[in-house]
Amino acid sequence: MQYWAGTAAIGIPPAPSVVTLGNFDGVHRGHQAVLKVVVDTAKQHDLKSVAVTFDPHPRLVHLPEEPLVPIVSLPQKIRLLETCELDATLVIHYTLKFAAQTAEEFVKNILVDALNARMVVVGADTRFGAGNSGDINTLRKLGKVYDFMVVEVDDIGETERWSSTWVRETLTKGRVAEASRILGRYHSVEGEIVHGHARGRELGYPTANFANDSQGMIPADGVYAGWFTNGSGQRLPAAISVGSNPTFNDVVRTVEAHIFDRPEHEELQDFNLYGQHCTVEFVARLRGMLAFEGIEALIDQMEADVCKSRAILSGNAPEIDAPEPRSAR
């Protein structure tokens, strides 16, 4: 897949194309369905399939006072779009100046001049141009002027429309199993492994600690069953802790993974992950974050977490998110 960071990177306008546009935050199953229409339509008509997306998220530019945590980072989004078999992705740096373009200016500058669009695939709720003044009817009118067709894609979902907002809500509540059904894959966080307090190692449950600048939206505090992939591509079962560790009165929120059932040749002292770029995938939430009165109670709970994680990841227990407990014990 070609990747263009801005229209200047395109150079000579590409071959005639089928284009879609959107934030594609999370690249969930709804996005995937739209992108499949783009790819299939492009193949059918011997055109190039292109997605247009924006960075940063427009809401962060228009409403900076209202925090919004992207589900995926830009590099993660690009990799996910590539799995959809697109020919190219154009990432536009989103600014207030860019947003001030009229609907027609956006269509002419981006879809027509830069991408040579012959077909544009969008949902019924698409909006573009200054003040979101352009909609699908605007697009159809401009298509007649600039010689491209508009293909409308219906809302896609099972019980309700799949959306990035829905994914974000589930992750905020720790419902990662539900999020995976919307995303069509397990939600992941990736980053460099750094040194922590080494408490887990002292307790017999060493953890890989992710740097604070890790990529991907971090779900609610709690303990999760999931998969850990190291820098060499080994995918191993893990119990993942998210939070500030109230038992030790920590205040910094961290993501750390205890990797269990390692291959026999991986001795504990030789399993050095520091400095590696690693990934955790969240499969199911086991429990909320609790403060324990003593070390023994904490160790007992960690063993129970590992046992439950092993059962879930081996397919011997359902992937169901545990609700937040009413009170810490």
Catalytic residues: 256
Tokens of 309: 């994680």
Burial class (CB in 10 A: 0-12, 13-18, 19+), 97: exposed
Question: What is d(CA 107, CA 98) in angstroms, rounded to the nearest whole number?
Answer: 12
Contact in structure between 101 and 109 (CB atoms under 8 Å):
yes
The closest alpha carbon to 304, from 325, 280, 286, belongs to: 286
Contact in structure between 246 and 206 (CB atoms under 8 Å):
no
Question: What is d(CA 138, CA 246) in angstroms, rounded to the nearest whole number?
Answer: 54
The answer to whether the Cα torsion of 22, 26, 30, 33 is positive or negative is positive
* Helix boundaries (H) for the chain: 29-44, 58-62, 74-83, 96-99, 103-106, 136-146, 164-172, 176-183, 199-203, 295-313
